[in-house]
Amino acid sequence: MTKQLKTLGHFVDDKSQYTSDSLFKLFGLKDIELLLVEVSGCFNNKVKLNFDYHKGMFGALAMIKSIADKYEYASIDQFEKAKVLFLIAAAGQYLYLWSLSYKKNNLLDLWIKSSLLYSDFDDKQDFVPDLVRFCWGSKSIIEKSVESIVALKQSHWQNRAKWR
């Protein structure tokens, strides 16, 4: 989000900038931010939990905007396939993996791609297989997202060559 603020001339200082709990970047693809992580609720603070959902959403919007800015010559069809993700882990109760993608007519598509709900860590026989399924499914979603961004990059370079 800092990149957009600097571009618009609204960046004040580092104290005012948005920070997430964790961020995954694709360093081979112009440092594109792919996955944002927000962890909240360790002190049962419901206000922080709700705030982190909003932070995740606005962070995902900034990430999709950055992708659009970096690959401005890519086709809309390829851009629709690109997804950014954010993971919310809250209060030792659940994990949600959300995806955000662009759709035609200036719409954005927000979906829960994967979720893991748990109530008690003592029941390891049920929890561990569910956790493995969640992690494996998340890995697959991340791989598809990376593949779509690579295809977006290729579309960008092909279309850019046509406009020269």
Q: DSSP E strands: which ranges in 12-106?
A: 22-26, 32-40, 83-90, 94-103
If one counts every other C-beta atom within 10 angstroms of the C-beta of residue 158, the result is: 13
Q: Are 84 and 60 in contact (CB under 8 A)?
A: yes
pLDDT digits (tens, 9 = 90+) for 54-73: 888 888 998 999 899 999 99
42 - beta bridge partners? none
The pLDDT of residue 149: 93
- Dihedral-angle region of residue 32 (phi above 0 means left; psi in -120 to 50 means alpha; beta otherwise): beta
**What are the residues whose beta carbons fall under 8 Å from the beta carbon of 76, sequence distance 6 or more?**
104
The ranges of the chain with pLDDT < 50 are none
Sketch the domain layout of the chain as residue ranges. Answer: 2-162
